[in-house]
Structure 1
Amino acid sequence: MDRTSRSPGDSWDLASSVGATATMVAGQRVLAHREGLIDDPFAEPLVRAVGVDFVNRILDGEVAFEDVDPSFTVRLAAESMAVRTRFFDQLFLDAAAAGVRQAVILAAGLDARSYRLPWPQGTVVYEVDQPEVIAFKTRTLAGLGAAPRVTHRVVAVDLREDWPKALRDNGFDPSQPTAWIAEGLLIYLPSDAQDKLFDAITTLSAPGSRLATERVHDVATFVGGRPREITDKMRELGSTIDMEQLVFTGERTNVVDHLGGLGWTVTEIDARAAHADNGFEFPDNELTASFGDLSYVSAVLG
């Protein structure tokens, strides 16, 4: 049974609801950048500009991860985010090497890949997110004097609306192969919306298109038990994020099976193997176990 408090048409900025989770993720990218595991110089100024006190206090060392859970550390947070960031970066890099010159970042949040990846000449990157989120990031990066390293087109639309039309209206060409990423998105979608998202992506994708996303094997692991204890502890320390109220925990389609049925050739790697591939030891602790299994999924459309 779905226990979310989300409602149809709900909205947010980067300091509230689902948007605050994007800011928290960007905060982890700051840590990974500081540890030298990824290169994202834009993560910290973007996070600071959002101004979520709890996240900024983590970056300032006023709140330690060990305050939330003794088994968690800055290094573990950085390594976990490095694995995730490198995976999605690589999708774009591999697609570019294969000649793909059109890319889409869905639910872009504070993603700065348009500004930091070495895009080949002639590439167009589309970023899709809610209007307030897109406006904030674009304004903040411009204020920093940052410029995209690619032809960059923002598409200010909610994914619950007709985003394929908005994409096409901004110059997207469905006849050309496209590299898509849906990073950290699916748990915030109901099952039917998840299926419709991949159906729409497939309709918009020419042969040779590529896709990367994640699969959380059981979203219900975000509810109750140890995750609830961690959420309560974080709230004591100043966090306003309550994952139980943000994710959709009803039964959902296995994204690997769904994409396969749509004609994609799918590859799945679990988090443990992904850590090993990056030279990291997967943390075997109660915190990791309590949030369930995670896999990274990539696919090519034949």
Structure 2
Amino acid sequence: MSSPAGRSDDDSWDLASSVGATATMVAAARAVASTEPDPLIDDPFAAPLVRAVGVDFFTKMVDGDLQPPAEAREAVTAMTTVMAVRTRFFDDFFLSSVRGPGAPAIKQAVILASGLDSRAYRLPWPAGTVVYEIDQPEVIDFKTTTLAGIGAEPTAELRTVAVDLRDDWPAALIAKGFDPAAPTAWSAEGLLIYLPPEAQDRLFDNITAISAPGSRLATEYHLDAGAALGQRSAEIRRLFNNGGGPGAFELDFADLAYSGERQPVADYLSARGWDVTARPRPEVFADYGRTFPTTEALAPLRDSLSVIATRV
């Protein structure tokens, strides 16, 4: 499969460019969602991190300085709702995993492609939990330095693993003290579409190889989310940019995400010894008292699945 226009086999990024900028976008949505009435999430670190990255559009978004027309406000609200529900889903996954209702609690958690995820700082992890964050070195360094600068402290033992997922990340993880013989809670959130289909399979193979029985994994599956997100970013640019210029929305998912047919995640994991539950996204929204947005740009994502798997 050929790479998208903005990608190459050895590309890298910071949090203001390429795939890294999508992490900043997600953090901006989390920041806005945290200020809503009856919020689903509370992420006090999202806005400071976004401001530190310095992408004008996202800084204005978290500071309430965007002045969009009504149609554009609807697009931002829809994006914020999607990210809030997704964030809460993964929050609840981790907390249920480490608190162990009905099963022994898991003591180590791995956040793949952690980006500006602040769960290691904001979730109430039980004593003795070790959280591993894996991402590109520049991303890890930026987040760690920025949060230290505002006095934030992890609420678990945090071990960062500065490695590209295209490299031998299992070895790097184990070198940081990860125990393959102990159950693990894994997250692959907002990640799969930025991997070629064969790399998605390899990721799950690597996870399986170092997951002890009782390990749990949360992820998502989109039939062709690369194309769907490309449509969404094009719509946001149309609504906001008015010809471009300073502060314009410049992300184009079509240049970043790998579209095309993928192995269905539930089937792939089931065949490798995982007990899998996959639920449609509107059903997950309903669980949290939300309705999946009806905007045309998000319609292709209605068929996305929220996946939780347990290693047997």
- Give me the TM-score of the superposition, normalised by structure 2: 0.91
Residues 65, 72 of structure 1: 8 Å contact kept: no
Could you tell me how far apart the structure 2 residues matched to 1:254 and 1:42 are? Answer: 34
Gaps of 5+ in 2: none
Q: Given the alignment of the two structures, is residue 206 of structure 1 paired with residue 212 of structure 2, yes or no? A: yes
Residues 121, 154 of structure 2: 8 Å contact kept: yes
Residues 33, 39 of structure 1: 8 Å contact kept: yes
**How far did residue 3 of structure 1 move?**
6.1
Residues 221, 292 of structure 1: 8 Å contact kept: no
Amino acid at match of 2:57: F
Structure 2 vs 1, CA of residues 66 and 257 (structure 1 numbering), >3 Å: closer, same or farther?
farther
> Secondary structure, in 3 states, of the residue corresponding to 1:88?
helix
Residues 31, 77 of structure 1: 8 Å contact kept: no
**How far did residue 70 of structure 1 move?**
6.2
Could you tell me how far apart the structure 2 residues matched to 1:25 and 1:259 are? Answer: 27
**How far did residue 219 of structure 1 move?**
2.8
**How far did residue 90 of structure 1 move?**
1.1
Aligned to 2:292: 282
* Larger RCO, structure (CA 8 Å, separation 6 or more): 1
2:202 aligned to which of 186, 196, 200: 196
Aligned to 2:125: 119
Aligned to 2:107: 101
Could you tell me how far apart the structure 2 residues matched to 1:219 and 1:51 are? Answer: 27
Structure 2 vs 1, CA of residues 221 and 145 (structure 1 numbering), >3 Å: closer, same or farther?
same
What is the Cα-based RMSD across aligned positions, in Å? 1.9
1:42 aligned to which of 42, 45, 59: 45
> Secondary structure, in 3 states, of the residue corresponding to 2:75?
coil
CA deviation map 1:145-176 (0-9, x unaligned)? 11111111000000000000000010000000
Q: Given the alignment of the two structures, is residue 164 of structure 1 paired with residue 166 of structure 2, yes or no? A: no
Amino acid at match of 1:31: V
Large movers: runs of 4+ above 6 Å: none
Could you tell me how far apart the structure 2 residues matched to 1:161 and 1:300 are? Answer: 25
**How far did residue 285 of structure 1 move?**
2.9
> Secondary structure, in 3 states, of the residue corresponding to 1:72?
helix
Structure 2 vs 1, CA of residues 205 and 69 (structure 1 numbering), >3 Å: closer, same or farther?
same
Gaps of 5+ in 1: none
CA deviation map 1:191-242 (0-9, x unaligned)? 0000000000000100000000111122353377665344454553612211
Q: Given the alignment of the two structures, is residue 147 of structure 1 paired with residue 147 of structure 2, yes or no? A: no
Residues 32, 61 of structure 2: 8 Å contact kept: no
**How far did residue 294 of structure 1 move?**
1.8
Could you tell me how far apart the structure 2 residues matched to 1:167 and 1:108 are? Answer: 14
Structure 2 vs 1, CA of residues 66 and 264 (structure 1 numbering), >3 Å: closer, same or farther?
farther
Could you tell me how far apart the structure 2 residues matched to 1:221 and 1:64 are? Answer: 28
Could you tell me how far apart the structure 2 residues matched to 1:15 and 1:151 are? Answer: 28
Could you tell me how far apart the structure 2 residues matched to 1:54 and 1:226 are? Answer: 16
Could you tell me how far apart the structure 1 residues matched to 2:71 and 2:202 are? Answer: 36
Aligned to 1:77: 79
Q: Report which stretch shifted further, 222-231 or 173-182.
A: 222-231
1:87 aligned to which of 80, 86, 89: 89
Q: Report which stretch shifted further, 201-210 or 243-252.
A: 243-252
Residues 233, 251 of structure 2: 8 Å contact kept: no
Aligned to 2:18: 17
Structure 2 vs 1, CA of residues 245 and 284 (structure 1 numbering), >3 Å: closer, same or farther?
same
Amino acid at match of 1:4: P
Amino acid at match of 2:268: H
Could you tell me how far apart the structure 1 residues matched to 2:68 and 2:185 are? Answer: 34
Aligned to 1:30: 31
**How far did residue 81 of structure 1 move?**
1.8
Q: Given the alignment of the two structures, is residue 259 of structure 1 paired with residue 265 of structure 2, yes or no? A: no
Residues 3, 9 of structure 2: 8 Å contact kept: no
Structure 2 vs 1, CA of residues 71 and 149 (structure 1 numbering), >3 Å: closer, same or farther?
closer
Residues 266, 299 of structure 1: 8 Å contact kept: yes
> Secondary structure, in 3 states, of the residue corresponding to 2:25?
helix
Could you tell me how far apart the structure 2 residues matched to 1:47 and 1:225 are? Answer: 24
CA deviation map 1:86-130 (0-9, x unaligned)? 110111111112210000000000000001111111111100000
**How far did residue 250 of structure 1 move?**
2.7
Amino acid at match of 2:294: D
Aligned length: 301
Aligned to 2:62: 59
Amino acid at match of 1:54: F
2:257 aligned to which of 235, 247, 251: 247
Amino acid at match of 1:81: M
Determine what percentage of the aligned residue pairs are the same residue. 55
1:272 aligned to which of 241, 266, 282: 282
Residues 37, 78 of structure 1: 8 Å contact kept: no
